[in-house]
Structure formats: structure tokens, C-alpha cells
Amino acid sequence: MSGSTFGEVVRDLSTPTAAGLGPLISLCIVGFLAYVIIKGQRRYELLRTETEALIRRYIIFRGKRHSTIGRVQTQKGTTKKILKSISRSWYRFKEYHGEQCSLLEKNYRGMKKGFILGCVLLVLNTVREGIVGAVVTESIAGFFFGVFQTLPPYLLAVFGMVLLSMQREEVYGAHLDPPLEAVFTDFDREDLRLSEEFDPLEGEGEEE
């Protein structure tokens, strides 16, 4: 592109019509960025709530299953069947939890891509406004004035970065905590010493 052609492009950007479209362009970019952030954050909150509800429901289920062992009369194979059921439920729960984690990660990546695109458009618009300001005023001060006018929307970009950072910590740390998994695993193990310590009457009933 020759110097004269570039000059013509710059002059076109500085015309009243082009300058009048500046606020509209900025509004569209800010609107797009806000849409990406709001949509991604709402989806994240929904998936997070569903994941927490899944964990709560499973904890209640495990508690009821284990309380069933103490309520049923001692029958050959009854306790073993209940424990097998609990073991199967644990693997199914981990599968469901893994699916929720995958959805959270997918939402995070989609929001991140849209956010990056919005930020790129925001920067390009800032450069455009600076060039227009410099051409209109024919001074470097006009460039900085044009850039300064586009700074407020960057607060939205900072807010989006904070939300993405919080989501990243949640998404890549959404796996079951090792202590919680260890507790669930211990539920499936029969330990006579625990029965003797916390429920000695049950052990005496089985001996009779």
C-alpha cells in the first residue's frame, strides 16, 4: 500500500460520517463483550449449582444406604449386596461428576474465546479512535484524547478477567477432593474393629 493510499484511508476515517459511527462501534463491541461475560458466568453458576447438588444428593444416598445395613436383620448375603450396590453407585457418581466437570470446562473455554475476541476488538477500536483524533486535530494530543475516550470499557474487560480467573480455579479444581474420596472409599470397607468400637451390640448379635 502506497503512502498516498494510506493517507486516503486515514482521511476517510476522519470524516464526520466515519467519526459519527465511532460511538456506535464502541457500543457494539462493549455489548458483545458484556454478552459473552454475562452468558458465560450464568452458565457457570448454573453448572456449579448442579454439581454441588449432585454431591449433596450422593452423600445423602450413601448415608441412607449405610444406615440400611444397620436396620436390616442379619441375613446371609444381605450386607454384601448392599455394599456392592454402594460400590456401583460410587463409580456411577464419579461418572456423573466427571460429566459436570467437562461441561464446566467447555463453558470456560467458550467464554474465554469470546472474551479474547471482544478484547481484541476493543484494542483495535481504541487504536482507530486514536488515529481519528490525531487526524482531526492534526496533533499527537488528539491521538491520546481519542484513546482516553475509549478507556472506560476496559473496566468491563478487567471484570471479565477476574471472573475467568475465578472460573479457572473452580474448573480445574472441580475434581473430588482426595479426603472426600478417601472417606467414600472407606465406607465400602468392612472393619470389625470399628463395629466393636462404635456398635458392639451388633457384633454380639451376629455371634448368637
Instruction: Tell me the three cell numbers of residue 75.
Output: 441375613
Task: Please report the pLDDT score of residue 189 as a whole number.
Answer: 53
The reply to whether the predicted model has a pTM over 0.75 is no
Distance CA 133, CA 146 (A): 5
pLDDT value at position 58? Answer: 81
Q: Tell me which of 75 and 207 has the higher pLDDT.
A: 75
3 state SS of 139? coil
Q: How confident is the model at residue 207 (pLDDT cuts 50, 70, 90)?
A: very low
| Range with top average pLDDT, 16-20, 55-59, 106-110, 191-195 | 106-110
Non-local CB neighbours of 163 within 8 Å, separated by 6+ positions? 37, 40, 41
Q: Inform me whether the pLDDT recorded for 76 exceeds 50.
A: yes
pLDDT band at residue 205 under the 50/70/90 scheme: very low
Q: Which helix (H) or strand (E) holds 152?
A: none
Digit-coded pLDDT (tens) for 78-110: 666 766 776 777 788 888 888 888 999 999 999
State the Cα–Cα distance between residues 158 and 161, nearest whole angstrom: 5
Q: At what angle do helices 16-71 and 3-13 cross, to 10 degrees?
A: 70
- Asked if the model's pLDDT at residue 208 lies above 50, the reply is no
% of the chain exceeding 70 in pLDDT: 63
The 3-class SS string of 47-76 reads: HHHHHHHHHHHHHHHHHHHHHHHHHCCCCC
Q: How far apart are CA 62 and CA 72, in angstroms?
A: 16
Q: How confident is the model at residue 181 (pLDDT cuts 50, 70, 90)?
A: low
> Which range is least confidently modeled, 36-40, 51-55, 152-156, 198-202?
198-202
Most confident option among 14-18, 20-24, 185-189: 20-24
What confidence score (pLDDT) does residue 160 get? Answer: 94
